[in-house]
């Protein structure tokens, strides 16, 4: 891999790529399709986040054309009548399965509050093009017709989504749904394959990877559609579709260092030119497949949050509006560490570990599990700010409960917008409501004015914490006489 390509990756992504190279495993294209599927399955969960628990995770079969049965798995955070994302896994139409994408589908369901139905479509070379397209379409039609009565879901609120080859299938089924009069609220396209040829600048720059190479793409295509003359079929390359006017709004999430990037950008441009709303995110310094690397790559967690936010906006707008009314600040969430960990972690990692150089083991501590956490998300649902309120401790000298606020962080790209004040005010109000008499915190000296403007006063001398100058500050929530009386 060229040195300049490796240099553009984030340090974490670069480390992942280097570890993959050192592992010395045979490349998929050097194996038989059966061996490649086994190898891909064996490595699918290595960098994935822990598998989220859900109230519903059920395997079932759908009827396709003729006597064909299509396996599927339903994921849902509750037994309510939820909207549905129909999900198609990636794998070059040759590898991958419901199981290899189990964790990702669970996470999308958990974060979005929607049901996700993952489709086990037929793979090449046993079943070449257009078998995967036929299964994807048949699955969507079945769910549209039967999900209400058979699964207890809301078939009137449907979306399609997928990653890589699955993103291709999602884009294609969105066009087919438009033609058939099936209304879709969203097409969720995660680094989708959209072009027929490997002739874009990104294909040339990333011909040797990382993760997805020209050789591997050639191998996938040779198994799925060996007749190169047929690759101009729009069902293989949706960028070549004659007409995309009226298809579902799109959320497109791309990796910067990915050969399929440019064709996917071109597809987003094609949709916009046809009047289709498009939200396109490029995650800098990461490679194809990064959505399944959340244990190591922070951008994966942000991608999960962004994709789930797009699902909520499209499929559950009433829940988004209710959350805004409840918290008073758009995108503000209060909850436990278990509820908000996936949102808070990437912000804290970016601000404290990467920006300020705090060692990661010091940044995350046991107090997280017992604290109330606040997270503010941006307009697109991505986490941009976070903080925590620790449990209060009784102070007999002060005559009341004393709480501590900490881990206040706002991404550099969102500073100056008042988000830190909004988050601090929410945590102070939470402490006030539970009856705390005083809030204490350790403020970085450069942030002292920020807390002074909210009534916090310095306490004592400057000291160092994790190598950074700090000063203790406190805010009295009850007057001294009232504390003494209480």
| pLDDT per position as a tens digit, 361-406 | 777 788 888 888 999 988 777 889 999 998 877 655 545 678 899 8
Q: Is the pTM of this model over 0.75?
A: no
Residue 319 confidence (pLDDT)? 59
- pLDDT bucket at 325, cuts 50 / 70 / 90: very low
- Report long-range pairs for 311-314 (Cβ below 8 Å, ≥24 apart): 311/85, 311/108, 311/112, 311/114, 311/159, 311/161, 311/186, 311/188, 312/112, 312/113, 312/114, 312/381, 313/381, 314/159, 314/185, 314/186, 314/249, 314/251
131 vs 67: which has the higher pLDDT: 131
164 classed as catalytic: yes
**CB within 8 A of 333, min separation 6: which ones?**
323, 327, 339, 340, 343, 374, 375, 376, 377
* Confidence (pLDDT) at 100: 98
Burial of 188-206, coded b for 16+ CB within 10 Å and e otherwise, reads: bbbbbbbbbebebebbebb
Phi/psi of residue 362, nearest 5 degrees: -80, -25
Q: Is the pLDDT at 410 greater than 70, yes or no? A: yes
pLDDT at 239: 98
CA 89/CA 9 separation, integer angstroms: 25
The dihedral through the CA atoms of 368, 373, 375, 381 has a sign that is: positive
Q: What is the pLDDT of residue 265?
A: 96
Is 97 an annotated catalytic residue? no
Active-site annotation holder among 89, 203, 288, 304: 288
417: pLDDT confidence band, cut at 50, 70 and 90? Answer: confident
Please state the rounded mean pLDDT for residues 119-145. 97
- Of residues 416 and 223, which shows the higher confidence score? 223
Backbone phi and psi for residue 159, each to the nearest 5 degrees, phi listed first: -145, 160
Four-CA torsion 333, 339, 340, 343, nearest 10 degrees: -110
> Does pLDDT of 244 surpass 50?
yes
pLDDT at 327: 43
pLDDT beyond 60 at 329: no
Catalytic annotation, pick one of 164, 202, 257, 371: 164
Question: What pLDDT does residue 465 have?
Answer: 80
Position 101 pLDDT exceeds 80: yes
> Catalytic residue among 102, 258, 262, 279, which?
258
Q: How far is CA 194 from CA 197, 198, 314, 370, in A?
A: 9, 10, 23, 46
Question: Do the strands 438-444 and 400-410 form a parallel or antiparallel pair, or are they unpaired?
Answer: parallel
**pLDDT tops 60 at residue 483:** no
pLDDT recorded at residue 481: 37
pLDDT (mean) for 73-100: 97
**Of 285, 343, 300, which is closest to residue 104 (Cα–Cα)?**
300
pLDDT at 456: 85
| The predicted structure's pLDDT at residue 480 | 40
Instruction: Specify the pLDDT at position 326.
Output: 46
- C-alpha of 302 from chain center: 5
User: pLDDT tens digits, residue range 246-258?
Assistant: 999 999 999 999 9
Residue 318: what pLDDT?
Answer: 67
Q: Tell me the C-alpha distance between 420 and 417, whole Å.
A: 8
Mean pLDDT of 301-311: 91
Contact 370, 297 (CB under 8 A): no
Mean pLDDT computed over every residue of the chain: 89
- Please indicate whether residue 327 is annotated as part of the active site: no
């Amino acid at each position: 891999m060229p040195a300049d390509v490796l240099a553009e990756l984030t340090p974490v992504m670069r480390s992942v790529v280097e570890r993959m190279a050192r592992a010395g495993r045979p490349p998929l294209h050097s194996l038989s399709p059966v061996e490649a599927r086994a190898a891909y399955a064996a490595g699918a969960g290595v960098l994935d986040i822990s598998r989220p628990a859900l109230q519903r995770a059920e395997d079932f079969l759908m009827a396709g054309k003729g006597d064909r049965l299509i396996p599927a798995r339903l994921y849902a955070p509750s037994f309510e009548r939820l909207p549905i994302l129909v999900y198609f896994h990636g794998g070059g139409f040759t590898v991958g399965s419901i199981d290899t994408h189990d964790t990702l589908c669970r996470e999308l369901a958990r974060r979005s509050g929607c049901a996700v139905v993952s489709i086990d479509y037929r793979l090449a070379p046993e079943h070449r093009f257009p078998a995967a397209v036929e299964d994807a379409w048949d699955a969507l039609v079945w769910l549209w017709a039967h999900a209400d009565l058979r699964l207890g879901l809301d078939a009137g609120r449907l979306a399609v989504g997928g990653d890589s080859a699955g993103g291709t299938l999602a884009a294609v089924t969105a066009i087919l749904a438009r033609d058939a009069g099936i209304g879709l609220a969203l097409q969720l396209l995660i680094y989708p394959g959209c072009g027929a040829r490997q002739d874009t600048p990104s294909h040339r720059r990333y011909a040797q990877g990382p993760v997805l190479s020209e050789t591997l793409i050639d191998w996938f295509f040779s198994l799925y559609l060996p007749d190169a003359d047929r690759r101009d079929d729009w069902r293989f390359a949706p960028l070549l579709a004659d007409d995309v006017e009226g298809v579902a709004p799109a959320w497109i999430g791309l990796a910067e260092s990915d050969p399929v990037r440019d064709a996917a950008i071109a597809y987003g441009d094609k949709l916009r030119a046809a009047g289709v709303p498009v939200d396109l995110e490029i995650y800098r310094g990461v490679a194809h497949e990064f959505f399944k690397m959340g244990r190591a790559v922070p951008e994966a967690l942000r991608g999960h949050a962004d994709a789930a936010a797009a699902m909520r906006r499209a499929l559950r707008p009433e829940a988004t509006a209710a959350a805004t009314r409840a918290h008073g600040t758009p995108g503000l969430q209060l909850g436990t560490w278990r509820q908000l960990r996936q949102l808070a972690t990437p912000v804290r990692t970016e601000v404290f570990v990467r920006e300020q150089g705090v060692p990661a083991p010091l940044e995350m501590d046991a107090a997280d599990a017992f604290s109330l956490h606040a997270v503010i998300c941006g307009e697109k649902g991505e986490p941009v700010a976070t903080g925590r309120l620790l449990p209060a401790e009784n102070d007999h000298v002060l005559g009341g409960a004393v709480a501590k606020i900490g881990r206040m962080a706002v991404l550099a790209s969102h500073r100056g917008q008042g988000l830190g004040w909004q988050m601090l005010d929410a945590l102070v109000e939470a402490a006030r409501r539970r009856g705390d008499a005083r809030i204490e915190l350790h403020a970085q000296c450069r942030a002292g004015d920020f807390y002074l403007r909210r009534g916090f006063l310095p306490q004592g001398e400057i000291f160092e914490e994790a190598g950074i100058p700090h000063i203790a500050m406190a805010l009295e929530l009850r007057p001294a006489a009232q504390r003494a009386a209480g």
